[in-house]
Amino acid sequence: MSIKVRMWGRTSGSAPRKIATVAGSILAATALLAGSTTLVAGAATPGKPGTNATKSPIVVGEDWDSTSANASFTDVTAKTIQLAVNQLNKTGGVLGHPIKLVIGDDEGELTKTPAVTEQLINEGAKFLLFNTGVDAPAKPTVQKLGIPSIGVTDVIPTFATPPDNSYTYLLSSPLSDWSQVLCAAWKKTGVKTVGVLRDNSTTTASLDDILFPTLKKCVTIVDVETAPGTASTVTAQVARLKSHNPNAILVADLGGQFEILAQDTVHQLMPKTPRYSLATIVNEPQTWSLATPGGLNGVIGIGSLNPNNPQTKKLKSFLDAHNGANYPMTAFDADAWDAIQLMKTAMVKAGGGSNPKAVNTQMQKITKYLASFGQPGYTLSYSTTKHQGANGLCGIVLQQFGANNKPDKAFAGYQPTCK
Amino acid sequence: MDDPQLWISAIQLGCFFGLLALSYYVVLSGTGFFNFAVGPYAMVGGLFTSWLVIEKGFSLWPAVVVALVAAMALAAVTELIVVRPVQNRSGRNQLPALVAVTAVLFAIEQLAGVIFGYTTLPGEQLFNFQAIEIGSAELLPAALELIIVTAVVFISMAIWVRITRTGRLLRAVGDNRDAAALLGLPVNRIRIIAFVLSGLLAGIAGLLFATKAGVNSDAGLTWALDGFLALVIGGTATVWAPLVGGMILGILQVFIPYYLGGPSLSYSLLILAIIFFGLRPQGIFARRVRV
């Protein structure tokens, strides 16, 4: 004991080393804990490629941003892409050729997307899946090298519209459809004035030009408040919106923390005002628990899952079987699944996946594909000039959160229907 | 300024910024050095706790202890492996150590992303009780927890610095490391204590603030800057200066957007920082030295 006291009394030497050892041990233990998670996650990867597809593999590249904040949705998408590929391989692949996925990561940075795209193509990719928030910079590369590509979860039309869009395709309903659906819902529910709260990211700001012209035709936007996406509070912004006494609040952002902060604050300061969300919050189960109890109650989000759609039901059963019962299926799962089915359809019709140009031609001939999302009967179609698959507004489902902070019901006020 | 909800929000932010600034203050007092890694320590305090509870099934309090110990360990490692060796090699020049600590900040953020994932996890509330109605406003349990703990921490620190030998040594070593060493004071031990205490304070801050809207591995940088600005505003003359700086920053963060609109906040804070850096770098509460 006395030795210990003397050692601690020194100004240098073993005491710091001891502390370093203890601190190092704690950090090592932390790293070990993390390591065990990785192992478990690896072991839990559902399914294995079967042996039915025995011919040479077709390489498909996936740009999966697993690093940035976009991982909140890209991880879900990637998992279901893998599941869909495994299932495809189990059932014979593409005319006997299994699909081999190769993965790149642009880390959510626009500047890295072209390099990752080239890297995937250099690895032999004959088809590309962009599971990232920054797919648009890949367009010149895929155009030049002629590789058909799907922006799996992208809702901004840039990826599939000119220039350089001969090989690029989207699944989701375009943003212009969102504003039409919101207008219809507001008209039906008597909303005449709307206050907008949004983050100040360039992505969200770019939505203004797409959404606001239509929205301004059906309601009066009384105030637009902004805050940084990393804001610690938006109380002031919501208090300013409250002073205009709008009929409804529209929150527009990239989802995640800002969305929760905004919805919690609106719930606290304006508990009786209807709230709408432009973010992907209905598709981000992991963020629901960030809200205060009941903080999301009543929020109406733009989603795309209707449990009455037979295709959605079918996919839900499949996902439950592979991920466990009551898996919280999201639109990202449906997008991932449908992307693989569309790719398969085009490859089969092209006689295999080895000729990207032939596959691209067949992509443009896909019509009335029954999607796993949207209202019952919703279909996707493509042509030489139509590279966004949506057929009408009914790819959108307005989902409403309950007191349990889950979007467990369809909004009764209005739903677009497929004709 | 008559809306109590705005004031509650400002005070909550002020407490958080004050705790972060206090974390800076402790290291600055003990070593004369700005440790920009306090933001990541705070992130680890919040994120590690949530990760252990949600992903690993830990009970709350053991998770809190493990996370805070991890924050303290990171702070100790920062001093022993980064700051001290770099300062010794650079003749105690501050700049190389500051650059090295900034690298530590990003390294911890990246490491946290790899270990805990890149998604935001909800903060863990320490106690369960109902929200308190204050007129038309509502004081949520998370805000009340933060306010109470902040008061306890600052009072404890004020007492500790004033009446304990270690507390007094902290300032002696920070004021003049060479003189303290000549006098035979345990300089290295005091420096380690300062860093470990800084890690604990930041960890507590992150743990309590994470309940507001969750925490992710990217939070460290923003929190480091918030705490630094609070310290610059408050100064270093007393233990209470970081709290004053934090409160002023919290009030500005709420009332500037309220009166001038959201986009004005960044510009206003930039102007404020320039004013303090340029005209009063010692902050509101400056140390008075008798000559």
A18 token code pair: 């001891």
pLDDT at position A204: 81
B170 token code pair: 């902290």
Domain membership of residue B40 (yes or no) is yes
A158 token code pair: 């840039």
Rounded to two decimals, the pTM is 0.77
Topology alike, domains A58-173+310-388 and A176-303+398-410: yes
Q: What is the mean pLDDT of residues A382-408?
A: 94
Classify A199 as helix, strand or coil: strand
pLDDT at position A26: 47
Is the pLDDT reported for residue A331 higher than 50?
yes
Contact B214 A69 (CB under 8 A): no
pLDDT at position A157: 86
Q: How far apart are CA B103 and CA B106, in angstroms?
A: 5
Q: What is the mean pLDDT of residues A368-387?
A: 96
Confidence tier at B290 by pLDDT (50, 70, 90): low
Is the pLDDT reported for residue A44 higher than 60?
no
- Whether the CB of B9 is below 8 Å from some CB of chain A: the reply is yes
Domain membership of residue B191 (yes or no) is yes
pLDDT at position B150: 97
Give Cα separations from A69 to A73, A255, A370, B103 (angstroms).
Answer: 9, 10, 31, 21
User: pLDDT, tens digit, for every residue of A245-275?
Assistant: 999 999 998 777 889 999 999 999 999 999 9
pLDDT at position A12: 37
Classify B40 as helix, strand or coil: helix
Strand pairing report for B137-139 and A220-227: unpaired
Give the ipTM. 0.81
Classify B191 as helix, strand or coil: helix
Contact A24 B192 (CB under 8 A): no
- Between A7 and B227, the higher pLDDT residue: B227
pLDDT at position B288: 66
- Between A4 and A88, the higher pLDDT residue: A88
Q: Which residue type sits at A190? A: G
Domain membership of residue B176 (yes or no) is yes
Q: How far apart are CA A398 and CA A286, in angstroms?
A: 20
pLDDT at position A279: 74
What does the angle CA A357 – CA A360 – CA A361 come to, to the nearest 5 degrees? 90
Q: What is the mean pLDDT of residues B174-179?
A: 76
A132 token code pair: 């990232």
Work out the widest C-alpha separation in chain B, in whole angstroms.
60
- Between B158 and A172, the higher pLDDT residue: B158
User: pLDDT, tens digit, for every residue of A47-59?
Assistant: 444 456 778 999 9
CATH class for the region spanning A176-303+398-410? alpha beta
**What average pLDDT does the structure give for chain A?**
86
CATH architecture of A58-173+310-388: 3-Layer(aba) Sandwich (3.40)
Return the closest-CA partner of residue A169 out of A346, A32, A350: A346
Domain membership of residue B289 (yes or no) is no
DSSP secondary structure, A6-20, as one string: HHHHSSSSHHHHHHH
Per the listing, tokens 């005209």 go with: B279
Q: Which of B73, B81, B214 sits opposite A260 (nearest CB)?
A: B214
Is the pLDDT reported for residue A412 higher than 60?
yes
Lowest mean pLDDT among A269-283, A404-418, B140-154, B167-181: B167-181
% pLDDT > 90, chain B:
61
Confidence tier at A30 by pLDDT (50, 70, 90): very low
Confidence tier at B289 by pLDDT (50, 70, 90): low
- Residue A233 CB-half CA count within 13 A: 31
Give the residue from A232, A266, A272 with the most B CB atoms within 10 Å of its CB, the best one to mutate.
A232
> B197-229 burial by CB neighbour count: b if 16+ within 10 A, else e?
bbbbbbbbbbbbbbbbbbbbbbbbbebbebbbb
Q: How far apart are CA A133 and CA A39, in angstroms?
A: 27
**Any idea what the CATH number is for the domain that residue B83 is in?**
1.10.3470
Return the closest-CA partner of residue A398 out of A301, A332, A255, A282: A301
Q: What is the mean pLDDT of residues B219-245?
A: 94
Number of domains in chain B: 1
Domain membership of residue B288 (yes or no) is no
Question: Which residue of B lies nearest to A263 if distances are taken between CA atoms?
Answer: B213
B236 CB contacts (<8 Å, ≥6 apart)?
B25, B28, B29, B282, B283, B285, B286, B287
% pLDDT > 90, chain A:
67
Phi and psi at A249, nearest 5°, equal -115, 135
Q: Which of A12, A30, A268 sits opposite B138 (nearest CB)?
A: A268
| Strand order across the A99-104 sheet | A99-104, A58-64, A127-131, A149-151, A168-170
Lowest mean pLDDT among A1-10, B93-102, B104-113: A1-10
Q: What is the mean pLDDT of residues B247-273?
A: 90
Q: How far apart are CA A282 and CA A176, in angstroms?
A: 19
What range does the domain containing B226 cover? 4-279
B187-209 vs B38-54: helix axis angle to the nearest 10? 50
pLDDT at position A43: 31
Confidence tier at A124 by pLDDT (50, 70, 90): very high
% pLDDT > 70, chain A:
88
Domain assignments of chain A as residue spans, ordered by start: 58-173+310-388, 176-303+398-410
Is the pLDDT reported for residue A28 higher than 60?
no
Chain A residues within an 8 Å CB radius of B213: 257-258, 260-261, 264, 290
